[in-house]
Amino acid sequence: MSADQQGLPSVWTRPQRSRRDQPALSRDQIVAAAMELLDAEGIEALSMRKLGTRLNAGATSMYSHVTNKDELIELVVDQVYGEISLAGLDGSTDWRTAVTRLAHGLREGFLRHPWIVSALGQVGMASLGPNLLRLSEALLGVFEEAGYPLQAAEQGMNTVSAYVIGVASTEAAWLTLLARSGQSQQEWVERFWPAAEQAVQGHPRLRRLYAEQRQGFDADSSRGDSFDEGLACILDGLEARLRRSAD
C-alpha cells in the first residue's frame, strides 16, 4: 500500500473509533496524565509504558486512542496551544494590542511547560491540531481586519509565531537547565558573569555589552524586557509594510 493510500501518519488523520466502541479510559484522561508526567519529569520520562502505569490502564485502553508515542506528543503539544487565550482577537482591540497579548500568552504557555522545546522537535502534524488551527484562524483574522491581504496575513502570523517560539524555546531550555542546577536564576547568573567576562576579553564590543548589562542586572525582568523589545521590532516592521501597501 502506498503512502498516499495509507494517509498521513498523525493522530489527527487516523480514523477514530465510534463512541460506542470507546473504552472507559478517555483521550482527555490520557492527555492530562501525560501533561502531568511531562511537567513533573520532562520529555525523557515520557513513555507509553510509564503513562499506562500512571493511569493504571492496560494496553488496549491506551492504544485505542493513541497508537504510539508520536501521536501522544501531537496531543500534548496541541493541548499547550489550547491553553492560550484568544481574548482580544475578535476585533475588540487594535491589531498590535491583540497580537502582543497573544504573543505573551504563547510565551507563557511555553514557559509553563518547558518540555515543549524538545517535543516540538518530535511532533509530526502539529499544524493539524484543532487548538493550533483555532489559534491560527483567529490570528489570521486579526491581520486581515487590520488590512493585510490573506497571504500577507499568513506571513505576519508566521513571523510573529517564529519569533515567539524561538525566544520562548530558548527561555524554556534555560529554565530546564536552571531547574536541574538547583539554583535560582540570580544565583546562576552571578556565577556565570565572571566566566563570561573572561571569555569576551578579546571581543571589545561584547566586553562593553556585558559590562553594561551587568549593572543592575535582574534575570527575570531582563528576559521579559528583551522579549518585549524584540516583539516591538517585529510589529514595527509589519506595520511599516502595511503602511507601504496602503500607499
Cα 100–Cα 102–Cα 104 angle in degrees, nearest 5: 70
99 and 31 within one domain? no
183 and 231 within one domain? yes
| Assigned domain for 90 exists | yes
223 and 110 within one domain? yes
| Assigned domain for 179 exists | yes
Which pLDDT value is given to residue 2? 39
Is pLDDT of 58 > 80?
no
Q: Render pLDDT for 182-226 as a digit per residue (tens, 0 to 9).
A: 888 888 888 888 898 999 999 999 999 988 887 766 766 778 789
| Assigned domain for 175 exists | yes
Phi, psi of 181 (to 5 degrees): -75, -25
| Assigned domain for 214 exists | yes
55 and 173 within one domain? no
154 and 68 within one domain? no
Single residue among 48, 79, 110 that ends a domain in this structure: 79
150 and 35 within one domain? no
149 and 210 within one domain? yes
Which pLDDT value is given to residue 225? 87
| Assigned domain for 1 exists | no
| Assigned domain for 3 exists | no
Single residue among 34, 60, 79 that ends a domain in this structure: 79
| Assigned domain for 2 exists | no
Average pLDDT over residues 23-41: 88
228 and 140 within one domain? yes
Average pLDDT over residues 31-35: 94
Which pLDDT value is given to residue 162? 93
Looking at every residue in the chain, the average pLDDT score rounds to: 85
| Assigned domain for 46 exists | yes
178 and 57 within one domain? no
Our count of domains for the chain comes to 2
Of the candidate ranges 32-41, 62-71, 155-164, the one whose mean pLDDT is the lowest: 62-71
Is pLDDT of 15 > 80?
no
90 and 32 within one domain? no
Single residue among 79, 104, 137 that ends a domain in this structure: 79
Share of the chain above pLDDT 70, in %: 87
Assessment of whether the complete model's pTM goes beyond 0.75: yes
Confidence band of 103 (pLDDT split at 50, 70, 90) = very high
Q: State the greatest distance between any 2 C-alpha atoms of the chain, in Å, as a whole number.
A: 70
C-alpha 37/C-alpha 45 separation (Å) is 7
Which pLDDT value is given to residue 143? 95
172 and 90 within one domain? yes
159 and 74 within one domain? no
Give the CATH number for residue 143.
Answer: 1.10.357.10
What's the half-sphere exposure (Cβ side, CA atoms, 13 Å) at 230?
A: 19
The C-alpha cell at 194 is 565572571
**Contact at 8 Å (CB) between 167 and 107?**
yes
**Three-state SS string across 147-174, please?**
CCCHHHHHHHHHHHHHHHHHHHHHHHHH
In angstroms, the Cα distances linking 36 to 32, 55, 94, 98, 105 are 6, 11, 36, 30, 20
Is pLDDT of 38 > 70?
yes
Average pLDDT over residues 28-35: 92
The torsion angle over the Cα atoms of residues 232, 84, 133 and 130, rounded to 10 degrees, is 170
Is pLDDT of 1 > 50?
no
The C-alpha cell at 233 is 521590532
Which pLDDT value is given to residue 178? 84
Q: How many CB atoms lie within 10 A of CB 117?
A: 20
- Its domain, for residue 102, covers 86-246
Q: Render pLDDT for 105-163 as a digit per residue (tens, 0 to 9).
A: 999 999 999 898 888 877 666 778 999 999 999 999 999 999 999 999 999 999 999 99
**Contact at 8 Å (CB) between 30 and 72?**
yes
Give the CATH number for residue 73.
Answer: 1.10.10.60
Average pLDDT over residues 77-103: 92
